[in-house]
Chains A and B, each alone.
Chain A
Amino acid sequence: MNDIRIGVYVCSCGTNIAKMVDVELVKTTVEKLPNVAMVRNYKYMCSNPGQEMIIQDIKDNDLNRIVVAACSPNMHERTFRAALRSAGLNQYLFEMANIREQCSWVHEDRIEATEKAIDLIIGSVKRVALHEALESMEVDMNPNILVIGGGIAGLTAALELAEAGNKVHLVEKQNKLGGNISRVDLTAPYLYSARDLLTERITKVNENPLIDLHLNSKVSDLKGFLGNFTATIDKQNGKPGKESAQTVVDIGNVAVCTGYKEFDASRITHYGYGKLPNVITSFELEKMIRNGQVVTKEGKIPQYVAIIHCVGSRNQEFHAYCSRVCCMTALKYVHEIKSMNPKSYVSDIYIDMHAFGKGHEDFYRRSSEVKTLFLMYEKSDRPVIHRAEPKDDCEMLIEVNEILSGELIEIPADLVVLMVGMEASDDSNEIARLTNISQDKDGWFIESHPKLEPVATTTDGIFIAGACVAPKDIPDSVAQARAAAARILSKVSKGKIEVDAVYSEVNEEICSGCRLCNSLCPFSAIEFLEEEQRSHIISALCKACGVCVAACPSSAINGRQFTDRQLIAQIDGLFNHMEALDV
């Protein structure tokens, strides 16, 4: 019974593996290894017949360890683990040898690739012999949810979650809901009223008894793990110096919808923002439009209005990325200015016109038809704004090296609108630290997979949506908010969560309380028990990254399924194939 009987399955992956690896030779070589009870080749191990073969062999041949030599474990580890489970074998008595991505796909010499495939399999065979049966844990899921941020994404997520019957704590740092959209008049490209969009959302939120609204508040602490977080919410009393009131809430999941802030235009000094009174930002123009008139500081209707794109965006000096919404917003201004001041001339100074969204090209075409002067400038050659002479009959002159005509064009302007881009909000670092999520170099939150997991993060139970992830327009933010809500609802509906059995644990018999590991965990999973003077890992928070395992100088921390002995056996197998094969 205690004999180790390993079944090894060598996949051809159609021809993906077989064209570069001699799978027959692999089979006959691996068969000679100690503890290997049987080896099979098959065209597609991941197919149903492939999995069935493993299940049948486990039952018929008393196999108690399985190695599949195929693709990356990222691709099919779950598939084969499931096969082991159906055969009644513990799913962790399994190891994958990656002979596709790390072998057949990257080599050009069939003999060497075959040797490498054999070495990889020997490593896996030696490792799997030391694998232990592990049991995953189940913990209860708290159905309550924390939504941070009361902009369009946060409002939408909160509503979606509450309308499904869950308690939601919605935390907004300002004294009102709506976020940046509440500063906007119309929306592009259909010119719907932003106010109408928001009013509908806000009214529903206010009326929903399941949503606890925390205005003027911020989350000051978040502890725990998926299914069981505890958040501390600090409410500012409005008057500085006054103590804030704290509320502590238990939740199971968090949706981070903290949005963006606009680029500070004064950082680009030669646009003269802050010095030239009639150079304004897009948000200042929105304010004028909402107040019903677009006028210069002097109260005059501007005859010439110039709109400059990509202020702070698409530029290595400030932000290399595109802020995505400004092009269409600029076109929206063309329409709004023209309808308020029909006699105004509007020029639009841009790098590229990004009109990628639904209805955007059409909107661009319609904007061209209202006699707008479009001027294209080179990314590295920004327009220059001068104060005009009295004879010029305008307040400012803008010099543009216009690409399409190849000429230096000087255009008049009484009002210049700078299309300021989006950047990560001021508190994004603090939010990232609180919720244990990562940020990219620009401060945007990082999703756990850019294509397949756009709203999940590497911390289970923390989801991100809207413009805190990257610049986004309203439909994309709303779609992400609903996606995050759907992800949370699918977790809540299960009631319980299974925690992977692969995590690190502290052997209390050995831990001496040196505290070396305490500040290393990127997931804040390590706590120090003062009374016992021991470090302790909260297994549900642990992502099995292994940082603490490597750092524990007394080997008191053990990475389950990644023990030193297992890894050394694997390395040994990789490099000592002669010894392993006894030749």
Chain B
Amino acid sequence: MTKPNSKINLAVYWGAACGGCCVSILDVHEQLFDIVAAANLVFWPIALDIKYDDVRAMPDGHIDVTLFNGAIRNSENEEMATLLRKKSKLLVAYGSCSHMGGIPGLANFSNKEEIFQRVYHDSESTINKDKIRPVPKFEVAEGILELPVFYDSVRLLKEVVNVDYFMPGCPPQTERLVEVFMAIVSGAELPPAGSVIGAGDKAQCEECERKKTENKQITKFYRPWEIEDDGETCFLEQGVICMGPATRSGCGHRCITGNGQCRGCYGPCSDTIDPGAKMMSAIAGLVDSKDPEEIEQILNDIPDPAGTFYRFSLPSSIIRRSLS
């Protein structure tokens, strides 16, 4: 794609995202100098004042690599995804939101109407006597004002455009970014299109140093603050739902090292279609009871099951969204 020693054109864009992915790029610290030595940053709204029109003016394929973070929530996200696809040789879905829907994807448990009702009318901090809602087009004396159209569902980047690679994480681990970036600029052979990059093939447990035994029978589920964690025993064996067994390694199991359970941002291992469903059926097998009522009681202790099992992956799951 590019000759060694020649600079590549790099773009970074955010769709429905929190900004953390962009910050993860800044987190390369002094290695930023290596990056800018190897790449021209041609577009990065959070850091550089380059306009959409400037991108539109670029010839097709002008950008070597676009790191697209954030999900597709509105028409602007979709428009920019389509534009950047056209302008980029490699389009990388960067971070959990563009990979699987991420935290914004949890909005798929509601629809647009419910979200607007909450945000513009019912929320405790809202005063909106005139019941004004955003509309895509609004006429004022000076002309027509436009806003992006808010969609009913959050979608993944790959549902809108063809994606070359997926780099998971909320946000992706900065070390992985540097590795991937260096591989690209050095002209190393890249994995087949459609691959997940910057992550391991096995689940978190492969790297996790906590003690794991076969004794994972659960009689009560706990939230992390309800247990006195010994810092050594597998979270599941302590009744805390850790998404680690259903989640790719690669992040350096940072949450677990910080005595927090894995929340699943790195997404499923390669053969898994729906990590939330997988983890639910795994958990179901661990409940230590044969009495249906007791089982129900134990499972009822799981706080926010949808948010626990589908925290980062709802739009990419088999259920995709709630039926409205």
A135 to chain B minimum Cβ distance, whole angstroms, is: 22
Complex partner residue of A554 from B268, B286, B318, CB under 8 angstroms: B268
Asked if A515 and B214 make an inter-chain contact with CB atoms under 8 angstroms apart, the answer reads yes
| B contact patch SS | loop
Q: Does B269 touch A at the CB level, under 8 Å?
A: yes
The total of chain A residues at the interface (CB under 8 A) is 26
Closest residue to B249 on the A side, CB-wise?
A512
Asked if A519 and B216 make an inter-chain contact with CB atoms under 8 angstroms apart, the answer reads yes
Q: Does A511 touch B at the CB level, under 8 Å?
A: yes
Given A510-B202, A553-B278, A554-B268, A564 and B285 contact (CB-CB distance below 8 Å): no
B288 to chain A minimum Cβ distance, whole angstroms, is: 10
Q: Does B74 touch A at the CB level, under 8 Å?
A: no
Q: Give bound CA distance, A519 to B218, whole Å.
A: 12
Q: Does A568 touch B at the CB level, under 8 Å?
A: yes
* B215 contacts across to A, CB distance below 8 A: 519
Q: Does B128 touch A at the CB level, under 8 Å?
A: no
Given A512-B202, A514-B212, A558 and B271 contact (CB-CB distance below 8 Å): yes
* A517 contacts across to B, CB distance below 8 A: 285
Q: Mark B301-324, 1 if CB is under 8 A from A, else 0.
A: 000000000000000001000000
A146 to chain B minimum Cβ distance, whole angstroms, is: 27
Q: Give bound CA distance, A170 to B245, whole Å.
A: 45
Q: Which of B248-304 contact A (CB under 8 A)?
A: 249, 268-273, 275, 278-279, 281-282, 284-286
Q: Give bound CA distance, A507 to B281, whole Å.
A: 19
* A558 contacts across to B, CB distance below 8 A: 271
Q: Mark A528-565, 1 if CB is under 8 A from B, else 0.
A: 10000000000000000001001111111010000011
Asked if A512 and B216 make an inter-chain contact with CB atoms under 8 angstroms apart, the answer reads no
A131 to chain B minimum Cβ distance, whole angstroms, is: 17
* A516 contacts across to B, CB distance below 8 A: 216, 236, 245, 282, 285-286
Q: Give bound CA distance, A551 to B246, whole Å.
A: 10
B256 to chain A minimum Cβ distance, whole angstroms, is: 12
Q: Does A520 touch B at the CB level, under 8 Å?
A: yes
Q: Does A518 touch B at the CB level, under 8 Å?
A: yes
Asked if B217 and A519 make an inter-chain contact with CB atoms under 8 angstroms apart, the answer reads yes
Q: Give bound CA distance, A512 to B201, whole Å.
A: 9
B141 to chain A minimum Cβ distance, whole angstroms, is: 50
Q: Which of A172-191 contact B (CB under 8 A)?
A: none
* B268 contacts across to A, CB distance below 8 A: 554-555
- Greatest chain B CB density within 10 A among A507, A511, A547, A552 is at A552
B238 to chain A minimum Cβ distance, whole angstroms, is: 14
* A565 contacts across to B, CB distance below 8 A: 273
Asked if B214 and A553 make an inter-chain contact with CB atoms under 8 angstroms apart, the answer reads no
Complex partner residue of B203 from A512, A518, A520, CB under 8 angstroms: A512
4 additional A-B pairs beyond A514-B212, A554-B272, beta carbons within 8 Å, are A513-B205, A514-B203, A554-B245, A555-B278
CB-defined A-B contacts under 8 Å, sample of 13: A510-B269, A512-B202, A512-B249, A515-B213, A515-B214, A516-B285, A550-B282, A553-B245, A553-B279, A554-B245, A554-B272, A556-B269, A565-B273
User: 9 tightest CB-CB pairs across the interface, nearest first?
Assistant: A518-B214, A553-B246, A512-B203, A514-B205, A512-B206, A553-B245, A514-B245, A512-B205, A555-B271
